[in-house]
Structure 1
Amino acid sequence: MHRIALTTLVGCSLFPFAAGAVPLTDNLQLQLKPQVVSDYRSRGLSMTLGDPAAQLEATLIHSSGAYAGVWTSNVDFGMSLKTRLEQDFYAGFYSQFTEEVSLDVGYLKYTYAKEGQFNMSEVYALLKAYGFKAGSYYSNDVKNFVGKDQDTLYTYLGYSHEVVDQVGLEVRYGRFDFKDDVFFSNSGKARGDYHEWEAKLTRSAFSVDWGLSYIDTDLSKSECASYYGYTDVCTATVVVSASKTF
């Protein structure tokens, strides 16, 4: 139900205008990014029960740093839930302070066809400096069994570095915190947060950006099942991805 850094790619390419984006006017461009992944993982969790996903992002970028767009993906939450489509709408502003330091702030709305009870919104801020990244996403309208409105805060630290020519390494460590306890173990212990992490190798080849990720969380199978209904959507996995930005 969540994506880690919706505008990371956009933010990295806003100043100057995104290379290869479609020019609409002197000050406005359209950036398109289709992607396929072997498993749609978000904040460490599978949004497709371990199955592949096809995704598309379209972003309007203004020379001032303002942007707005939509991102979509197939999803599968299992059980009797009918939704098979996630659509995220976002808008924000990107500021480039120096060649190595930038800040991205914005608003994000998540929507799910036929299952509107999952719809929610977040405000976010993403700071990038000298290869390091820090992000924070806050929501006050998450709906779950604890209550109609459940404040959540997701924060992460990351780092990216080109290991060798055209081969990059990206690492991330994040924490997702709920207002109340929502995860319960078989021993009866409860908590309201979990940690997740990812290590990803990237490479550009044949005009496509390829990725190979190892993703995991610190949720036990019983904790995972207590909130998400399944024991295996929070466990360690390897995800292969392929994307292209226009």
Structure 2
Amino acid sequence: MRKSILGLSAPILACALAAAVSAPAFAQDEPTPELTVTGNAAVVTDYRFRGISQTDKRFALQGGITVTHASGFYVSVWGSSIDDYVYNGGDQELDLIAGYSKTVGAATFDAGVLYYYYPGTGGINSDFFEPYASVKGTFGPATAKLSAAYAPKQAAIGLGSQIPGGGPKEDNLYVAGDLSASIPNTPLGVSAHLGHSFGPSYLTIGKEYTDWNVGATYTWSHLTFGVSYVDTDKSLYSPSGRNISKAGVVGSITASF
């Protein structure tokens, strides 16, 4: 599922501001690009979606690209390898995203639609869409964010979604709060997350559950090394017998460009 976009670390941001101040006057008159393209590629020790492993607690390869217009509109594609128990033998997840982001003072508002696509699922109705909205505020080196994502009733997230012909349609609501901060004058960052899923649907463990994590990052040039502790308040087992919602430590290496 959609991952957080890496931002500038405090030292890089400071260098950028210093360069802007010391640059020749004619450089400041250059127009802002209409389109900005950013991307990332990552290796993670476990792909956790809202606290639940999508890879049977094994490694995953991930990557994405985002095109942003100067107006605030953006489109994005993100993908990850997954285990075949997620959706009827499929081994890949692709997220197609379109949204709009606007910053007003210290607050940034964001809203859009995310479409989850699972190729190779043998004709099972596995794809679904999920509108989302968030607001975040920056306070010095810290950022606080509140978000919500609601998937309206769809067969793909019904409890019978992996049965040929499907079953009753279900909906799902996910709300979350995130805190992150860069440690001034260092390449280090810390983060914390708390989320709650309301169901019942294929996306929840029973009717509802809570997930949380805490983490730290180290940024060097275009690489970010991360480690986080992830947990939920429920148990869910994969066909291999692993508890894929149990607490675990997840490591990652991400290259941004």
Query: Common fold, TM-score beyond 0.5?
Result: yes
Please tell me whether the aligned partners of residues 49 and 77 of structure 1 are also in contact (alpha carbons under 8 angstroms): no
User: CA-to-partner distance for each residue in 1:127-171, whole Å, 9 max, x for gaps?
Assistant: 101311111000022232384321100010111112352211100
The one-letter amino acid of 2:5's match is L
Which residue among 107, 120, 127 is the counterpart of 2:135?
127
User: CA-to-partner distance for each residue in 1:86-125, whole Å, 9 max, x for gaps?
Assistant: 1110100000111x21011000000111224221110000
Pair 1:107–1:180, CA change in 2 (3 A): closer
User: CA-to-partner distance for each residue in 1:38-85, whole Å, 9 max, x for gaps?
Assistant: 111110010011111111111111000000011111110339932111
Deviates more, 1:156-165 or 1:72-81: 72-81
Pair 1:231–1:145, CA change in 2 (3 A): farther
1:242 and 2:242 are equivalent in the alignment: no
The one-letter amino acid of 2:190's match is L
Residue 187 (structure 1) aligns with = none
SS at match of 1:50: coil
Considering fraction of residues, name the structure with more strand.
1
Residue 191 (structure 2) aligns with = 170
Which residue among 39, 42, 65 is the counterpart of 1:35?
42
Pair 1:125–1:80, CA change in 2 (3 A): closer
How far apart, CA to CA, are the structure 1 residues paired with 2:149 and 2:65?
A: 21
Pair 1:183–1:35, CA change in 2 (3 A): closer
SS at match of 1:9: coil
How far apart, CA to CA, are the structure 2 residues paired with 1:30 and 1:205?
A: 21
Which residue among 1, 5, 9 is the counterpart of 2:5?
9
The one-letter amino acid of 2:191's match is E
Pair 1:113–1:181, CA change in 2 (3 A): closer
Pair 1:77–1:194, CA change in 2 (3 A): farther
SS at match of 1:118: coil
How far apart, CA to CA, are the structure 2 residues paired with 1:104 and 1:193?
A: 25
Pair 1:35–1:181, CA change in 2 (3 A): closer
The one-letter amino acid of 1:26's match is P
How far apart, CA to CA, are the structure 1 residues paired with 2:222 and 2:229?
A: 23
Q: Point out where structure 1 has 5 or more consecutive residues left out of the alignment.
A: 14-18, 20-24, 185-190
User: CA-to-partner distance for each residue in 1:175-204, whole Å, 9 max, x for gaps?
Assistant: 0111469978xxxxxx50000001010110
How far apart, CA to CA, are the structure 1 residues paired with 2:144 and 2:103?
A: 15
Residue 16 (structure 1) aligns with = none
Aligned counterparts, 1:202-217, within 5 A: 202-217=217-232
TM score, norm. by length of structure 1: 0.81
The one-letter amino acid of 1:90's match is I
How far apart, CA to CA, are the structure 2 residues paired with 1:176 and 1:242?
A: 28
Over aligned residues, Cα RMSD in angstroms?
2.5
Residue 77 (structure 1) aligns with = 84
TM score, norm. by length of structure 2: 0.77
Please tell me whether the aligned partners of residues 87 and 126 of structure 2 are also in contact (alpha carbons under 8 angstroms): no
Pair 1:62–1:196, CA change in 2 (3 A): same
Residue 110 (structure 2) aligns with = 104
Identity %: 27
Residue 126 (structure 2) aligns with = 118
